[in-house]
């Protein structure tokens, strides 16, 4: 009998508790159906934790995540948090750094019955470096990467390392080898010649280890245009942190909706499922949130766990989630309000569970 796997569940802020509850019910259903051996442990973070513990990410929760086999993270309202010195830690960024979740993997594909907004359908994955770049909380050993020498001058430091560039390239090429065998490296070499040059040097070096995978390169500004014009030409896109963040939101919306955008943050030893969208506090508690992004992200987490532990049932469960969500999206009557339907969060979740139970 396979050993059980611990999943840390962090509800977060805004709509987080609602869509995490929906996602957890899906995982519990699949856990029983496919005998996955998952054990769920819920921990408070964000505003709920700040009120009780004085911090948005207690050390005990971080250690529970470190000891877990997988993490499900709800959206967080980190822009509303107090300064870090007053307990306002961004759980998403902190977990990525502390657990070395260096690969943010964000697939976007057009879905049957749902309009896409680009000129061609898409089925691509953006593999985004997750631990450095222009992100001020991710690129300094001490302090942050933004500072103001005078009230009228603000500076930002960008960190690009060979190690991080190489390992994100490795992740992208390995993924492409299992897909359509094409990687596109997105950059801005014509302006940022040193940092982008280092990134591309490492990507090109990794490419030589994968002679069966084609590599091309694209400037980030023209890439934004090409996603609209001809997204069908792309397979796996690898890029640095900020470019990947922006392009993946664009791709998700073009493919149908940001509300369907799945995402995992993966490293060599840990993986965290996280919806690509934010906490939407304006609709929190109104039973209007679409859980699909986090549900699909949890499916990706199952796929990662299956590959890591060589357990085929996890891949079957991931495919079951994808098929059930696709089935609901094909029918306007089984969509949430953001996609033109009328089902609330709980009703949509019940419909999804029914599909899974009869699959």
pLDDT digits (tens, 9 = 90+) for 155-206: 999 999 999 999 999 999 999 999 999 999 999 999 999 999 999 999 999 9
Which element (helix H / strand E) includes 306? helix 292-309
With beta carbons less than 8 A apart as the criterion, state whether 238 and 172 touch: yes
**How many angstroms separate the CA atoms of 180 and 173, rounded?**
11
**How many angstroms separate the CA atoms of 237 and 218, rounded?**
10
Whether residue 200 is contained in a domain is answered as: yes
Instruction: Return the pLDDT at 342.
Output: 95
* Structural domain harbouring 155: 116-255
Confidence of residue 141 (pLDDT cuts 50, 70, 90): confident
**How many angstroms separate the CA atoms of 51 and 13, rounded?**
12
256-271 confidence digits (pLDDT tens): 999 999 999 999 999 9
Shared-domain flag, residues 300 and 325: yes
- Of the given ranges (137-151, 168-182, 257-271, 277-291), which has the lowest mean pLDDT? 137-151
Whether residue 111 is contained in a domain is answered as: no
Is the per-residue pLDDT at 1 higher than 80? no
Dihedral sign, Cα of residue 30, residue 36, residue 40, residue 45:
negative
Shared-domain flag, residues 3 and 102: yes
Instruction: Return the pLDDT at 2.
Output: 66
Query: From its phi and psi, is residue 206 left (phi > 0), alpha (psi between -120 and 50) or beta?
Result: alpha
Instruction: Return the pLDDT at 152.
Output: 98
Shared-domain flag, residues 264 and 214: no
Instruction: Return the pLDDT at 138.
Output: 80
Shared-domain flag, residues 250 and 288: no
Instruction: Return the pLDDT at 274.
Output: 97
Shared-domain flag, residues 302 and 244: no
- The pTM is what? 0.95
Q: What are residue 7's DSSP bridge partners?
A: 40, 70
Instruction: Return the pLDDT at 134.
Output: 87
Shared-domain flag, residues 14 and 129: no
State how far Cα 288 lies from the chain centre: 22
Residues whose CB is less than 8 angstroms from the CB of residue 310 and which lie 6 or more positions away in sequence, other chains included: none
Mean pLDDT, the chain, as a whole number? 96
Considering 255, 279, 307, which residue would you say is the last residue of a domain?
255
Is the per-residue pLDDT at 286 higher than 90? yes
34-65 confidence digits (pLDDT tens): 999 999 999 999 999 999 999 999 999 999 99
Shared-domain flag, residues 153 and 207: yes
The mean pLDDT of 301-316, rounded to a whole number, is 97
Q: Tell me which residues are annotated as active site.
A: 135, 188, 221, 245, 249
Whether residue 153 is contained in a domain is answered as: yes
Whether residue 50 is contained in a domain is answered as: yes
**How many angstroms separate the CA atoms of 58 and 67, rounded?**
14
Whether residue 245 is contained in a domain is answered as: yes
With beta carbons less than 8 A apart as the criterion, state whether 324 and 296 touch: no
Is the per-residue pLDDT at 236 higher than 90? yes
- Report how far apart, in Å, the C-alpha atoms of 307 and of each of 63, 118, 167, 232, 271 are: 24, 33, 18, 27, 12
**How many angstroms separate the CA atoms of 187 and 175, rounded?**
20
Shared-domain flag, residues 290 and 331: yes
323-355 confidence digits (pLDDT tens): 999 999 999 999 999 999 999 999 999 999 999
* 333: number of Cβ within 10 Å: 9
**How many angstroms separate the CA atoms of 26 and 38, rounded?**
12
- DSSP state string for 229-298: HHGGG-SEEEE-HHHHHHHHHHHHHHHT-GGG---EEE-SS-EEEE-SS---GGGTTTT----HHHHHHH
Shared-domain flag, residues 159 and 71: no
HSE (CB half, 13 Å, CA atoms) of 215? 22
Q: Which two tokens stand for residue 298?
A: 């949890």
Considering 231, 255, 279, which residue would you say is the last residue of a domain?
255
The mean pLDDT of 91-115, rounded to a whole number, is 95
Which element (helix H / strand E) includes 124? strand 123-129
Whether residue 347 is contained in a domain is answered as: yes
Whether residue 251 is contained in a domain is answered as: yes
Shared-domain flag, residues 92 and 134: no
Whether residue 281 is contained in a domain is answered as: yes
The mean pLDDT of 208-230, rounded to a whole number, is 97
Query: From its phi and psi, is residue 197 left (phi > 0), alpha (psi between -120 and 50) or beta?
Result: alpha
Report the SS3 class of residue 150.
Answer: strand
Shared-domain flag, residues 268 and 354: yes
Q: In percent, how much of the chain has pLDDT > 70?
A: 99
Considering 211, 240, 255, which residue would you say is the last residue of a domain?
255
Domain count across the chain? 2
CATH number of the domain enclosing 170: 3.40.718.10
Q: In percent, how much of the chain has pLDDT > 90?
A: 93
């Amino acid at each position: 009998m396979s050993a059980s796997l611990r999943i840390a569940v962090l509800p977060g802020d805004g709509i987080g508790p609602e869509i995490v509850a929906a996602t957890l019910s899906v995982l519990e259903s699949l856990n029983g159906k496919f005998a996955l051996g998952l054990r769920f442990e819920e921990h408070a973070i964000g505003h709920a934790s700040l009120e009780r513990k004085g911090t948005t990410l207690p050390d005990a929760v971080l250690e529970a995540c470190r000891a877990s086999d997988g993490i499900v993270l709800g959206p967080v309202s980190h822009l509303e948090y107090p300064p870090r010195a007053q307990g306002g830690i961004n759980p998403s960024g902190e977990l990525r750094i502390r657990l070395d979740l260096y690969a943010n993997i964000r697939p976007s594909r057009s879905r049957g019955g749902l309009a896409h907004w680009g000129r061609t359908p898409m089925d691509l994955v953006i593999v985004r470096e997750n631990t450095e770049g222009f992100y001020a909380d991710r690129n300094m050993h001490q302090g942050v990467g933004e500072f103001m020498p005078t009230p009228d001058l603000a500076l930002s430091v960008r960190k690009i390392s060979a190690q991080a560039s190489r390992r994100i390239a490795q992740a992208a090429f390995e993924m492409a080898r299992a897909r359509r065998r094409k990687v596109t490296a997105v950059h801005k070499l014509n302006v940022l010649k040193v940092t982008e040059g280092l990134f591309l040097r490492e990507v090109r070096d990794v490419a030589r280890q994968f002679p069966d995978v084609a590599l091309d390169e694209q400037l980030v500004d023209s890439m934004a245009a090409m996603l609209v014009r001809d997204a069908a030409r792309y397979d796996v896109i690898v890029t640095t942190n900020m470019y990947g963040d922006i392009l993946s939101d664009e791709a998700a919306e073009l493919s149908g909706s940001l509300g369907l955008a799945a995402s995992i943050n993966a490293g060599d030893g840990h993986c965290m499922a996280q919806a690509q969208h934010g906490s939407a506090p304006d609709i929190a508690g109104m039973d209007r949130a679409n859980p699909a992004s986090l549900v699909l992200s949890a499916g990706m987490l199952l796929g990662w766990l299956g590959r890591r532990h060589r357990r085929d049932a996890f891949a079957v469960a991931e495919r079951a989630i994808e098929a059930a969500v696709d089935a609901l999206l094909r029918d306007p009557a089984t969509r949430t309000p953001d996609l033109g339907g009328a089902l609330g969060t709980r009703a949509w979740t019940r419909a999804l569970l029914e599909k899974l139970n009869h699959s």
